[in-house]
A and B are shown apart, each in its own frame.
Chain A
Amino acid sequence: MLLNKPTTRRKFLLGSLLALPLSDLVFKGLTAAQAAEMAAPELADYKPIFFSADEWQFILAATDRLIPAGGKGKAPGALETNVPIFIDQQLHSPEFGAEIYMQGPFNVHAPATMGYQIPFTPQQMYQTGIKLVNQWTQSNFQKPFHELSLEEKDAVLTKVNKNDGIDFAALGEENLKASQFFGQLLSDTKHGYLADPMYGGNKGMKAWIAIGFPGARASFTEWVKQHNVPYPLGPVSLLGESA
């Protein structure tokens, strides 16, 4: 497989590909999706634009547990699909969270059925949540979250998800529950995994390929009548990649 070849060839290809529009990228031995995957940044080389270095370590470690690599099927993990890049870029976008009505007063003790009553933007939720989880792991494991073992990470995330054992109020933050931070992180992680690759995640449309979603094909006049037949074509993306 081309993509498993040594980096020199990869770097050579990238250098020649980046100057071209994606539509010109289909050439011998390389599908547009493969080319697009190569054109996407390497997670290891990516410099976050929203997260600080410490926060970035947390996001890499947490998303890797929320959607891990490996397992029974062919579905990739969050890191293989650049989900952290998606989250970083979304949080950096001025529109993200700008739709929320933020006028006070806030009743953070309202029943959950009353919806979002948190006096934080999503960006502030991330900053606060990451700080508090790291604070908790420091006192309990003497390490930041990202340095924990896989089992420890899963155990901590379970506590955060269930508000069970990690109490943000006890750590000094009355306005945010651990589970609320977890909910935001989990939904953004899934969105990054399954959104169109132009938003930075779902690298090479690999999540779509794994589950069998045809992406932006959006034309099924002939197909709607074919019942219980697996759809034969791979996905296309908004920028014209196909696989």
Chain B
Amino acid sequence: MAQITKKEVDVVVCGLGWAGSLMSIELAMAGLDVRALERGGERDYPDFAYPKPADEYAYNVRNKVFATPKEVAVTVRYNSSQTALPTRKWGAFAPGTGVGGAGMHWTAVLIRPTPTDLKLKTYVDEAYKPGILQEDMRVMDFPFTWEEIEPYYYKFELICGQSGNTGNLRGQILPGGDPFEGPRSEPYPLPALEDTLNNVMFKEAATKLGYHPFPNPSACVSRAWKNPYGNQIAPCNYCGYCSKYPCLNYSKASPQTAVMDALKRMPNFSYEVHAEVVKVVLHDDQKTAKGVIYYDVDGNEVFQPAKIVVLSSFQLYNVRLMLLSGIGKPYNPITEEGVVGRNYAFLSNGGATLFFKDKNFNSYATAGATGQMFNDISPGNFDGPGLGFLGGAKIHSSQATGTPMAAALPKGTPSWGMGYKEGLEEWYNHSMKISITTTCQSYRDIYLDLDPNYTDHRGQPLLRMTFNWKENELKLQQHLKGIVGNIAKELNPDSMSMSFLPMGADFDLTKYVSTHNVGGAVMGDNPKTSALNKYLQSWDVHNVFVPGGNAFPQNFQANPTDTIGAITLMAAQAIKEHYLKNPGPLVQA
């Protein structure tokens, strides 16, 4: 195939999900020529007009809008003495693809971490005596203050039409919200979604036990919303097809609904789909990038020169592209030198399923984000040091969907035969969940690098993940089991089943947890321990910016998207205000 060189642009954006679309619109609004390259296909409104998305088999089983393992598998092993094996099918996580990325089919829980979550190392040093935590734990602070980042959280929440109850307005604790949230400069843009039956039951039981539940903060909007870019998002109709589905009602904030309409109208923005970026090309001094090489839809190799390169693919693939391009030194877990690949973290889930003969939960009448949660068990808000572990969880009763293939059946129900069929008929629509979404700390020997054995369809090495549960995370699971068990008991179900990780559990790649993989190219104050500075700028190659979950030095209990939006917007602002005038490192090492 031909080699093509394109005209130089100011900014090339690699990956058109949340991070890529936000970076594109912010830099295009500053007058820059922005060109985005998206590996997957176009995803536009006709593709998800009613009733097309109301199809559990296509979207939830066959993963219609996800990347395929065939294209972007990673390899996984539990420790560095093993040979890693590829994720031949998705299991524990499932990355998105195409315009909008995972932002098109996310569950749309839009929540901030707490100020303590963002200064976790500081908290550990203050609250934990030496020797309590595992020696190999490597948590870090995010390299900004609450006051610096808060306006960008709010800006992203305005873009999304965040719906929920305010808990802390400029230091004043308000009823109905999260009393543990960091001070907000402004209330939530929109009121909370409607509560479903499970919400009401969970809220009552949790409150009685002394916890502080509040509605899941949501980017499925509760009222019609016009955002700062001029895009309009329709009020959610609780269709029940949300997480893993594109929104059929234009109600879920996504790159499509919240950004792309305005962005596509800008003459200085263009984008190309089925454009697979394989390498960032550096100048000879390795201090700046010249542009990127990609393969277009016809298989041509194309060089796109650019003054600024934004890597805004999913976390795993941002790290892989940095490793393939020689941006930043690869991490070595023995010497702990190098930065690209370190501080990888995942997260765990679990919980209880409660069955009630006399209750119809109508769980298909829901928004993806519908639920109630509490943050009482988050770092700094309970006695983690006394219990001997670091971390926490959001404990929630969410009702993301009521589709039948996802239906839970009581313990003891056969998985096939007459017992299965009768159990399904008897118990469908009669269960609710109490769930945990946990923190996950980072460790010396948990990391990402390039796999020596398995390659993609172009012969390039796959990304390799070395990951397993550590004792700290399993102790946390055991503690949460007790709390969830008590709430469940309070609700007095006819039967229930519990699912928590036992001590000694291995990471199970067959059970979906969440696609909240983080770290690997983290932001920090020190170029020896972080790949990026606080503006997501590579310490080594100053015209490369890498927004995404890759920047988190460990995983907090909050869902990641609010923070990805906030740090991306803060980086975009720094590029506009400082980098354009004076291209070079925005932070002196």
Contact = CB atoms under 8 A, between A and B. Distances in A.
Interface in A55-101: 65-68, 70-75, 77, 95, 98-101
Interface stretch (B35-43, B159-167, B263-271, B424-432): B424-432
A117 B454 CA distance: 13
B360 A231 contact: yes
A45 to B, nearest CB: 24
Given A66-B416, A195-B56, A196-B55, A218 B239 contact: yes
A99 B70 contact: yes
Given A191-B61, A220-B365, A223-B238, A238 B54 contact: yes
A186 B91 contact: no
B70 A224 contact: no
A230 interface: yes
Interface residues of B, number: 68
B432 to A, nearest CB: 11
A71 B418 contact: yes
A8 interface: no
A48 B194 CA distance: 47
Contact of A100 (B70, B407, B455): B70
Interface stretch (A27-35, A102-110, A130-138): A102-110
Nearest to B362: A231
B326 interface: no
Interface in B390-424: 402-405, 407, 415-418, 420-422, 424
Contact of A99 (B89, B197, B360): B89
Interface in A31-54: none
A220 B86 CA distance: 41
Main secondary structure, interface of B, reads loop
Nearest to A186: B416
A84 B576 CA distance: 59
A218 B241 contact: yes
Interface residues of A, number: 65
Contacts, number: 180
A139 to B, nearest CB: 24
Contacts of B134: none
B403 A213 contact: yes
Given A75-B421, A191-B57, A101 B85 contact: no
Interface string A174-196: 00000000000010011100111
Nearest to A96: B62
Contacts of A190: 405
Contacts of B83: 107
B513 to A, nearest CB: 13
B359 interface: yes
Contact of B85 (A100, A107, A218, A238): A107
A229 B364 CA distance: 13
B248 interface: yes
A195 B54 CA distance: 11
A66 to B, nearest CB: 5
B87 interface: yes
A188 to B, nearest CB: 10
A231 B196 CA distance: 14
Contacts of A99: 62-63, 68-70, 89
A161 B263 CA distance: 53
A110 B84 CA distance: 10
Which 5 residue pairs across A and B have the least CB separation, nearest first?
A220-B365, A216-B54, A195-B57, A99-B68, A218-B239
Interface of A: 65-68, 70-75, 77, 95, 98-103, 105, 107, 110-118, 154, 157, 161, 186, 189-191, 194-196, 199, 207-208, 210-221, 223-231, 236, 238
